[in-house]
Amino acid sequence: MNFMRTAILLAGMTALFMIVGLALGGRSGMGIALVFAIGANMFAYWNSDRMALSSVDSHEVDRSTAPDLVDDVAWLAQRAGLPMPRVYVVNSDQPNAFATGRDPEHAAIAVNHGLSQMLTREERLGVLAHEMAHIQHRDTLTMTIAATLAGAISSITSWGMFFGGGRREGGPGPLASIALAILAPIAAMIVQMSISRSREYVADETGGQLCGNPLFLASALSKISEGAAAIPDEVVENKPAMAHLFIVNPLAGGPRDNLFSTHPDTQNRIDALVALAQRMGVGMAQPQPQAAAPAGGWSPFRGDGAPAGAESFLGGSGIVRGGTPNPWGAGPPDENRGGPWGRS
């Protein structure tokens, strides 16, 4: 049902694009608009990951440089039945993250440095699961295409006005052309935002199930929302077209869940995740005294053995402020274990 809704919205965006071309340039304008749309989407299809990652100050990491982060992503990819995505760290103090790539075989997950500084490891696991859900549902491509079409509609209306569109083949008059140039991009933006918001709810639900406890993500969203509001990201502020890719809106703005927001209201998302946890029969962990790490490794479902870090309503603890030591001890992690939660 969600895929059908997204397909309908994308079809509506394409139809709007062609209507604008027809109104501004007649049949020839519609043809030009169609060719332009195909070209723009082909470029976005092949270059969406590079476009997104090059827009921020990011660098790729591996097990030698970020063992716990990469192992958590690998475990989630295994649970989701997906290829291991590339993992990037973004040099930004704002807690946030995004996924990109045209398909699961060419996907990447980027995590802001501030995310690991502010969140417990359980909470970061929920964020990674959310981004893995976007990859699983191929949302990264869908939202890239929507953003490309929205930008193309704005461009073609500007070009149409500049070249006097609508003067041939019974096109609209000057006033109608001006109105079209104003209203068409707004309509395209509304459709784009609708696609982004609907996919966030789906990724929240899938991610909550994937990590095993929706409360991990619920707690993370609360912290990320507050952190994003308090810590500006100047790079993304200068490139607002990227905003819809992040798990929480990285731009300064109102929190209302309306047609002009790239993301649903954070509290609405948290409420949905809490309801999901209740349906799954998952509760909040109770804080327990720290003890020596068991042989099975760190587990987000226990309070023992985890490195001390920021508190959350989950209880337990997680990521260390100022650094994330390898929970499996010195040296590379054991490749024979079943996942980061212990041996299978």
For the question of residue 131 being annotated catalytic, the response is: yes
135 and 82 Cβ atoms separated by less than 8 Å: yes
Torsion over CA of 244, 78, 310 and 67, rounded to 10 degrees?
Answer: -110
Angle of CA points 115, 120, 124, to nearest 5°: 55
What tokens appear for 118 in the block?
């502010």
Distance (Å) of CA 313 to CA 105, 117, 217, 232, 310: 35, 17, 11, 25, 10
What tokens appear for 60 in the block?
């790729």
What tokens appear for 130 in the block?
């959310």
Burial of 26: CB neighbours in 10 Å, binned 0-12, 13-18, 19+: middle
First to last CA, the chain: 36
Cα–Cα distance for residue pair 33/20, rounded to 1 Å: 8
Cα–Cα distance for residue pair 33/25, rounded to 1 Å: 9
Cα–Cα distance for residue pair 212/273, rounded to 1 Å: 12
What tokens appear for 52 in the block?
């997104």
172 and 23 Cβ atoms separated by less than 8 Å: yes
Q: Catalytic residue among 60, 122, 123, 131, which?
A: 131
99, containing H or E segment: strand 97-100
Instruction: Find how far residue 184's CA is from the centre of its chain.
Output: 26
Cα–Cα distance for residue pair 319/307, rounded to 1 Å: 6
Cα–Cα distance for residue pair 33/38, rounded to 1 Å: 9
236, containing H or E segment: helix 234-237
Residues annotated as part of the active site: 131
